[in-house]
Chains A and B, each alone.
Chain A
C-alpha cells in the first residue's frame, strides 16, 4: 500500500538558520510528489511539486526539494528560515492507478525562534 512518512513531528529552528524537512514515500513507481504548507487557521498552499525531469525543484518562498529515487525521499529545504515560515508542512504523493488518489504525510510543525 502507498504511504508517506514524515518522521519529524515538530522541528524548532532559529531565524536565519537552514531547514530540512524529511519525507519518505512507499510506492512501486515514481509518484507525483508535493509539499504543502498550512499556516494557522488556513487551508493548504502548494510550495512545490515534482513530476519528472530535474530532481531538484524550486518552489515559492525560497523553498526547494530534492527527489532521490534510491532513497524514496523528497526532502524539503530552505537555506535561511524566516519567522513567517512557522507553519505546518505536509508532504504528499499523487497516484492514478485506480482513480486519482493523494496520500498525505502526518505533517511537520515548524517553530521559528528569534
Chain B
C-alpha cells in the first residue's frame, strides 16, 4: 500500500519523442507536485496543483504539462523530449503546506 507511486521507474527514450510519467497518491491529499532533480541533486519544483489552481514554475518549458484526471493522480506529459530533460522526476503530495510525501522517482534518460 504505497502512499505515493510513480510509473515507470526507469524511462529511456529518443530525442523528439513524447512521453508520460504517471503518479498516484492514496493519502487523500489535496495538493500534488512534480519535481525535477538534476545530476547535481538540485531539486527544482515544476508544478504545484490542487483542485483549485495550478501553479507553474515559470522556468519550466511549455513542453511539460501536468494532467490531473482526479485528485489522486497527477501525470506529467512531456512533448518533444530533449537531451537536457534527462533527470530524475519526483512526484509528491501533501495537505496544504504540511509534510510532502515523495514517490520513488522516475529516472528519465533521453538519448
Q: Mark A86-101, 1 if CB is under 8 A from B, else 0.
A: 0010101011101111
Within the complex, the shortest CB–CB distance from A91 to chain B, in Å, comes to 11
B103 interface residue per 8 A CB criterion: yes
Expressed in whole angstroms, the minimum distance between the Cβ of A102 and any Cβ of chain B is: 6
Q: How far is the CB of B102 from chain A (nearest CB, A)?
A: 4
- Stretch of B14-22, B70-78, B92-100 contacting A (4+ beta carbons < 8 Å): B92-100
Measured CB to CB, the closest approach of chain A to B99, in angstroms, equals 5
Is A98 a contact of B43 with CB atoms below 8 Å?
Answer: no
**Chain A proximity of B12: nearest CB distance (Å):** 16
A80 to chain B, nearest CB (A): 25
A34 within 8 A of B: yes
Bound Cα distance A106, B40 (Å) = 9
Stretch of A11-19, A41-49, A68-76 contacting B (4+ beta carbons < 8 Å):
A41-49
Interface string of A36-58 (1 = CB under 8 A from B): 10100011111001000000000
A109 at the interface (CB under 8 A from B): yes
> Are A100 and B43 in contact, with the CB atoms below 8 A?
no
* Contact yes or no, B31 A100, CB < 8 A: yes
**Considering the chains assembled together, what is the distance between the CA atoms of A49 and B95 in angstroms?**
14
DSSP majority for the A interface?
strand
> Which one, A36, A44, A99, contacts B48 given CB within 8 A?
A99
Asked if A63 is at the interface of the complex by the 8 Å CB criterion, the answer is no
Write the chain A residue with the least CB distance to B99.
Answer: A46
Whether A44 contacts B42 in the complex (CB less than 8 A), given A32-B97, A100-B48, A101-B48, comes out as: no
A109 to chain B, nearest CB (A): 7
A97-113 CB contacts (< 8 Å) to partner B: 98-104, 106-107, 109
Which residues of A are in contact with B by a Cβ distance under 8 Å? 31-32, 34, 36, 38, 42-46, 49, 88, 90, 92, 94-96, 98-104, 106-107, 109
User: Please, could you name 18 A-B residue pairs with CB atoms under 8 Å apart, sorted by A?
Assistant: A31-B97, A43-B90, A43-B105, A46-B99, A46-B100, A46-B101, A88-B41, A94-B94, A94-B97, A94-B100, A95-B97, A99-B52, A99-B53, A100-B50, A100-B96, A102-B48, A103-B45, A106-B42
